[in-house]
Chain A
Amino acid sequence: MSKYTEEELKKELETKEYEYGFYTELESETFPVGLNEDIVRAISQKKNEPEWMTEWRLDAYRIWQEMTEPNWANVTYEKPDFQAISYYSAPKDVDPNKTLDDVDPELLAMYKKLGISIEEQKRMNNIAMDIVVDSVSVATTFKETLNEKGIIFCSISEAIKEHPELVKKYIGSVVPKTDNYYAALNSAVFSDGSFCYIPKGVRCPMELSTYFRINQAGTGQFERTLLIADEGSYVSYLEGCTAPSRDENQLHAAVVELIAMNDAEIKYSTVQNWFPGDKEGKGGVFNFVTKRALAEKNAKVSWTQVETGSAVTWKYPSCILKGDNSVGEFYSIAVTNNYQQADTGTKMIHLGKNTKSTIISKGISAGKSQNSYRGLVQIGSRAENARNFSQCDSLLMGNECGAHTFPYIESKNSTAKLEHEATTSKIGEDQIFYCNQRGIPTETAIALIVNGFSREVLDKLPMEFAVEAKKLLEISLEGSVG
Chain B
Amino acid sequence: MLQIKNLHASVEDKEILKGINLEVKAGEVHAIMGPNGAGKSTLSSVIAGNENFEVTEGEIILEGEDLADLAPEERAHKGIFLSFQYPVEIPGVSVTNFMKTAINESRKANGLEDMPANEMLKLIKEKAELLEIDRKFLSRSLNEGFSGGEKKRNEIFQMAMLNPKIAILDETDSGLDIDALRIVSNGVNKLKNENNAVVVITHYQRLLDYIVPDFVHVLHDGKIVKTGGKELALELEEKGYDWLK
Nearest CB of A to B50, in Å: 6
**Chain B 76-107 residues near chain A, CB threshold 8 A:** 76-77, 81-82, 84, 87-88, 90-93, 97-98, 101-103, 105-106
Complex-state Cα separation, A428 to B158, whole angstroms? 21
- Indicate whether A444 reaches chain B with its CB closer than 8 angstroms: yes
Q: Which of B52, B76, B101, B109 contacts A437 (CB 8 A)?
A: B76
Complex-state Cα separation, A463 to B70, whole angstroms? 38
Are A440 and B90 also in contact (CB < 8 A) when A1-B71, A2-B71 are?
A: no
- Indicate whether A434 reaches chain B with its CB closer than 8 angstroms: yes
Are A439 and B71 also in contact (CB < 8 A) when A452-B90, A455-B92 are?
A: no
- Indicate whether A436 reaches chain B with its CB closer than 8 angstroms: yes
B101 and A5: CB pair below 8 A?
Answer: no
Closest to A441 in B: B73
Q: Which of A5, A440, A454 contacts B51 (CB 8 A)?
A: A5
Q: How many residues of B contact A (CB 8 A)?
A: 33
Q: Which of B49, B72, B73, B92 contacts A451 (CB 8 A)?
A: B92
**Chain A 178-229 residues near chain B, CB threshold 8 A:** none
Nearest CB of B to A8, in Å: 9
Q: Which of B70, B92, B101 contacts A440 (CB 8 A)?
A: B101
Chain B, 40-66, contact with A by CB distance < 8 Å: what is the 0/1 string? 000000001111100000000000000
A434 and B93: CB pair below 8 A?
Answer: no
B88 and A440: CB pair below 8 A?
Answer: no
- Indicate whether A389 reaches chain B with its CB closer than 8 angstroms: no
Q: Which residues of B contact A4 (CB under 8 A)?
A: 51, 71-72
Q: How many residues of A contact B (CB 8 A)?
A: 29
Closest to A434 in B: B88
Nearest CB of A to B144, in Å: 9
Are A452 and B141 also in contact (CB < 8 A) when A431-B90, A439-B102, A440-B105 are?
A: yes
Complex-state Cα separation, A456 to B87, whole angstroms? 23
A448 and B93: CB pair below 8 A?
Answer: yes
- Indicate whether B69 reaches chain A with its CB closer than 8 angstroms: yes
Complex-state Cα separation, A434 to B49, whole angstroms? 11
B105 and A448: CB pair below 8 A?
Answer: no
**Chain A 1-39 residues near chain B, CB threshold 8 A:** 1-5
Q: Which residues of A contact B81 (CB under 8 A)?
A: 437
- Indicate whether A453 reaches chain B with its CB closer than 8 angstroms: yes
B158 and A452: CB pair below 8 A?
Answer: no
- Indicate whether A433 reaches chain B with its CB closer than 8 angstroms: yes
Closest to A393 in B: B91
B105 and A452: CB pair below 8 A?
Answer: no
Q: Which residues of A contact B50 (CB under 8 A)?
A: 433
Number of A-B residue pairs at CB separation under 8 A: 84
Chain A, 301-344, contact with B by CB distance < 8 Å: what is the 0/1 string? 00000000000000000000000000000000000000000000
Complex-state Cα separation, A448 to B76, whole angstroms? 18
- Indicate whether B162 reaches chain A with its CB closer than 8 angstroms: yes
Nearest CB of B to A6, in Å: 11
Complex-state Cα separation, A5 to B87, whole angstroms? 19
Nearest CB of B to A478, in Å: 14
Complex-state Cα separation, A45 to B101, whole angstroms? 57
Are A448 and B72 also in contact (CB < 8 A) when A4-B51, A431-B88, A434-B84 are?
A: no
- Indicate whether A174 reaches chain B with its CB closer than 8 angstroms: no
B162 and A438: CB pair below 8 A?
Answer: yes
Nearest CB of A to B84, in Å: 7
- Indicate whether A63 reaches chain B with its CB closer than 8 angstroms: no
Give the most central of A425, A429, A441, A453: most B CB within 10 Å.
A441
Are A438 and B76 also in contact (CB < 8 A) when A1-B69, A1-B71 are?
A: yes
Q: Which of A430, A437, A451 contacts B82 (CB 8 A)?
A: A437
Chain B, 18-46, contact with A by CB distance < 8 Å: what is the 0/1 string? 00000000000000000000000000000
B82 and A448: CB pair below 8 A?
Answer: no
Closest to A430 in B: B88
Q: Which residues of B contact A451 (CB under 8 A)?
A: 92-93
Lowest 6 A-B CB distances belong to which pairs? A452-B92, A452-B93, A436-B72, A439-B76, A455-B92, A438-B102
- Residues of chain A having any CB pair with chain B under 8 Å: 1-5, 425, 428-431, 433-442, 444, 448-449, 451-456
Q: A437-B84, A453-B91, A456-B92 are in contact. List 14 more A-B contacts (CB 8 A).
A: A1-B51, A3-B51, A3-B71, A4-B72, A434-B87, A435-B73, A436-B73, A438-B162, A439-B77, A439-B103, A440-B101, A449-B90, A452-B90, A453-B92
19 inter-chain pairs at a CB distance below 8 angstroms, sorted by A residue, are A4-B71, A428-B88, A430-B88, A436-B71, A437-B48, A437-B49, A438-B76, A438-B98, A439-B105, A439-B106, A439-B162, A440-B101, A440-B105, A444-B105, A448-B98, A451-B93, A453-B91, A455-B92, A456-B92
